[in-house]
Each structure stands twice: as structure tokens, then as C-alpha cells.
Amino acid sequence: MKTESRLEKILDKGAFAVTSECGPPRGADPDVIREKGKLLKGVVDAANITDCQTSVVRMSSFASCLILKEMGFDPILQMVTRDRNRIAIQSDILGAAALGINNMLCLSGDHQRFGDHPQAKNVYDIDSIQLIMTVKKMRDEGKFLNDEELTKPPKLFIGAAANPFADPFEIRALRLAKKVAAGVQFIQTQCIFNLDRFAEWMRQVVDMGLHERVAILGGVTPLKSVGMGKYMKNLVPGMDVPDAIIERLKGVEKEKQSAEGIKICIESIQRLREMEGVRGVHIMAIEWEEKVKEIAEGAGLLPRPKV
């Protein structure tokens, strides 16, 4: 079923899609989202709002998506299975669709150990793949998980995440295949610094013909400094930052490192555009949202096509 999603329309048109994300505030202030939204206006086809990322409590993705929607964006609702059971999940899916949210990213979610409330009880009633199946069932069969009919199917464009750099490497393409079989329509990958390793993963994905069934958006993140590069390399799980990148940043004076980081990011996007099967880019500039426009511009992605 086709949805009202602008992202879906861009991809159907064959254009290279651009998405980005906003991290909501740790308080009840809607203006934080509005400010971030202003920085992304005209730059992206759709924007994610993260869902208590790294298990840290923030304003809900659902609420924040509505704020973005008011500003004219096509928001992507992120939903993790860590905090909600299937009852709440199906309920929120109906609510999101009713309020005109057209995209949903299905995730398991970082374990609560990482976050600010490690004593919390987690849920994980269903996993991310089962969540994809749930949205698809509700949308295409008009049924709840218990096979009872719902009254009006939610129209949501279904997305998920993929991490080509996590272990075990050899099953990562297979795991994508499972998500595709479950019904996923677009994928945003973990941020890519090791383009060779990513290319290897894409080769496997293309070999399996998956690129024709799902739109893969390669994730990129600009590095602000050598310190940030090292942090991501050593302390963030599932991240592969090659030494060559750190060395390249080291080779530049401190004040110029962030500009170099942006350059590296733009070059990555250019390389991604040339890879078979990559149909867009997901720019994650955490707490550096003001740079997304510069990156998109530098990579020749602006202005965004009309749909």
C-alpha cells in the first residue's frame, strides 16, 4: 500500500533521498525541536526524531514528530521495543497514523544499562523484526497481532536500522534479508566511516537482490575533532572508525579539524552516491544540526526535488 510519505515519493521517483535526525530535549520545551527543525528546512525529505536514544529519557518521539509536522516536515517516528509492549506499540501506531505521521523506524533499542535509568525494567516484548511485521500486518492486512480486524489501517512507510559494522559480520546481510522478508521498505544504516567495509556489505546485499526490495540510505556523521573520532572508535558499540580517518584529522590544526570532518563527510556521501544499491543518505549530526545544510549543499544534494 502506498502511503502519503514524502520520502516514499522521492524514492519512487528515483531521486537520491536525504534524511536527518533531531534529538529531542530533556525537558518539556517544544521550541528546542522548532529551532532544530528550522535548521533542516528545505534540506531533507524526512526527519527522524530519536526515541530515548541510548536509553536516556527525552521528550517522546511521537510528540516531537507532531511539532515537526506542524512546521511542514515529513517526520519519521522512531519506536524502540525496549520500553513498550505490543499493546502500547499497536496503540501508538494507530495514533501516529491518525495524526498524519507517515513514516516509522522500527528498532529494538539500546539496553537500559547505557542510559540514565539503568534500574528500569525493560520490556522487549517483541524485537525489531517482529515490530516491522506488526506494522505491515496492521497496514496491509488491516489486522492486529491477534488477527482481529482493526477499523482503519494505519498508512505508514516502514523503516528499520542496519549496522553493517556489528559482529558477526558475515550474517549482517542475512539479518537485512530477514527485515526485508518481514516487510521493511527503507533502511538507515549506522554511520559509515569505513567505506571499504561498507562497500563489502553492499556487495553482499546486492548479490542477494535485497537492494531492489528495500531502499538503503547510508548513514554519515561529521566528526568535529580527533577527540570525537577516538570516542566513537573506542567507546561506541558497533562503530568502525578507521585509523586513517583519525590520522587525517590529526594532520590538521585543532581549529580546522571540524572543517576537515565536514569535508570527510561530504566525500563519503559522494562515494555512497556511486555505490549500487544506495538510494539515499541519512545525515546524523548529533548536537551539530546546523551543519547538515552545509553538508547537503557541499555534496550537491540541494535543492531537494519537488514531489
E strands, 163-284, where? 186-191, 215-220, 278-283
Distances (CA, A) of 251 to 246, 257, 267: 9, 9, 17
Q: Which of 42, 100, 227, 237 binds other proteins (CB under 8 A)?
A: 237
Q: Which stretch binds other proteins (CB under 8 A): 27-35, 40-48, 156-164, 256-264?
A: 156-164
Rounded to a whole number of angstroms, the CA Rg of the chain reads: 19
Nearest to 176 by CA among 210, 227, 147: 210
Distance, CA of 239 to CA of 17 (rounded, Å):
23
Question: Given the DSSP bridges, would you call strands 103-107 and 278-283 parallel, antiparallel or unpaired?
Answer: unpaired
Taking 3-state DSSP, the helix, strand and coil percentages for the chain, each rounded to the nearest 5, stand at 45, 15, 40
Shortest reach from residue 306's CB to other proteins, in Å: 34
Which residues ranging from 20 to 79 are in contact with other proteins (CB under 8 A)? none
Q: Contacting other proteins (CB under 8 A), which of 3, 48, 163, 188?
A: 163
**Pair 280, 19: CB distance under 8 Å:** yes
**Nearest approach, Cβ of residue 175 and other proteins (Å):** 5
For 268-293, give the secondary structure using H, E and C: HHHHHHCCCCEEEEEECCCCCHHHHH
User: In this chain, which stretch among 20-28, 123-131, 222-230, 254-262 interacts with other proteins, using CB under 8 A?
Assistant: 123-131
Beta carbon of residue 217, minimum distance to other proteins (angstroms, whole number): 15
189 contacts 282 by C-beta, under 8 angstroms: yes
Does position 160 interact with other proteins (CB under 8 A)? The reply is no
Q: How far is the CB of 171 from other proteins (least distance, A)?
A: 6
148 makes contact with other proteins (CB under 8 A): no
Rule CB under 8 A: say whether 150 interacts with other proteins. Answer: no
- Examine residue 130 and tell whether it contacts other proteins (CB under 8 A): yes
Q: Strands of the chain (E only): list them.
A: 17-22, 46-49, 75-80, 103-107, 157-162, 186-191, 215-220, 278-283
Among the listed residues 17, 59, 77, 126, the single contact to other proteins using CB under 8 A: 126
Quick one: which of 63, 181, 244, 259 contacts other proteins (CB under 8 A)? 181
Query: How many other CB atoms are there within 10 angstroms of residue 260's CB atom?
Result: 21
| Stretch of 111-119, 249-257, 261-269, 278-286 lying at the interface with other proteins (CB under 8 A) | 111-119
Shortest Å, Cβ 76 to other proteins: 18
Q: Could you say whether residue 90 binds other proteins (CB under 8 A)?
A: no
- Our finding on whether 86 is near other proteins (CB under 8 A) is yes
* 191 near other proteins, rule: CB under 8 A: no
Does 270 interact with other proteins (rule: CB under 8 A)? no
Would you tell me which residues interact with other proteins (CB under 8 A)?
82, 86, 108-111, 113-114, 122, 124-130, 133-134, 145, 161-163, 166-168, 171, 174-175, 177-178, 181-182, 190, 237-238
